[in-house]
Structure 1
Amino acid sequence: MTVEASVTIPGETTSRVALTTSAVELLDTLWLIHGPLMFHQSGGCCDGSSPMCYPAGEFITAEADVLLGVLDITAGAEGREGAATAGNDDDGPRLIEFWMSREQFEYWRHTHLTIDVVPGRGSGFSVEAPEGKRFLIRSRLMG
């Protein structure tokens, strides 16, 4: 099962980004810790590149970035015990923007990206680093 992102690029009708079930589960946990989240993908020319996950707004996007989609993980939190935590209002939708640098998008414009999770340490300041897991991009050509 995957969660497909909404279409955000004008003129397009197909989602460019999806989450695996494992990614949704990890994002649900990270949301409880950090609140709203976002992804940014820069650099990396091949399958297996790691997107960075930040608290929403912590990474400033600009004209040099493209919003590839908005992922809704709200369903992953429904019925979860302990979903509301101190300082984290959990009543609203859980929407996660996925951004990519415009330069990187030029290389990957013909691909659909699926965000998955594998064992290992997340890179840099990505919020999954302490969890012993890391996000990973799996790509396929768009048809």
Structure 2
Amino acid sequence: MSPSGASPVELTPAAAELLRRLREVHGPLMFHQSGGCCDGSAPMCYQDGEFRTGGSDVLVASLDVEGVAESIPFWMSRSQFEVWAHTRLIVDVVEGRGSGFSLEAPEGVRFLIRSRLAGPDGG
């Protein structure tokens, strides 16, 4: 969490809409982003608890989405978090298939991270 209290992760309107649809079908959700390459560097959406987090993961944010009853936790591997600690992460959606393990894959779209350098107040 940034010093200003602003979440270090935000959602585009398209990502929020997709999350509302996925929540209706799959129940509570979570994100995990590893430090790997290719699909491993994309945020992966799972049913909450389906991906087991551990000591090598950091809870970066709890995302509130209008129309979704509970916050959506956004986890990241600790090594990736250290690299992106001063970056504002923006979860977006684009056409194309990502990983078959992420819940949006059958929709023909995939989540991806856009980023910008965070200012001293975290924004």
Q: TM-score range, shorter-chain basis?
A: 0.7 to 0.9
For structure 1, list consecutive stretches of 5 or more residues without a partner in the other structure.
Answer: 1-6, 78-91
Per the alignment, in what secondary structure is the counterpart of residue 115 of structure 1?
strand
Q: 1:1-143 counterparts in 2 under 5 A?
A: 7=1, 13-44=5-36, 49-73=41-65, 75=66, 77=67, 93-143=69-119
**Distance in 2 (alpha carbons) for counterparts of 1:72 and 1:113:** 15
Q: Is the 8 A contact 1:122 1:130 kept in 2?
A: no
**Could you say what the CA RMSD is over the residues aligned between the two structures, in angstroms?**
2.0
- Alpha-carbon distance change, 12 to 102 in structure 1, aligned in 2, over 3 angstroms: farther
**Distance in 1 (alpha carbons) for counterparts of 2:59 and 2:4:** 13
For structure 2, list consecutive stretches of 5 or more residues without a partner in the other structure.
Answer: none
Shift of the alpha carbon at 1:142? 0.8
Query: So what's the TM-score if we normalise by structure 2?
Result: 0.86
**Distance in 2 (alpha carbons) for counterparts of 1:137 and 1:103:** 16
Shift of the alpha carbon at 1:124? 3.4
Between the two proteins, the alignment pairs up a number of residues equal to 117
Query: So what's the TM-score if we normalise by structure 1?
Result: 0.75
- Alpha-carbon distance change, 127 to 69 in structure 1, aligned in 2, over 3 angstroms: same
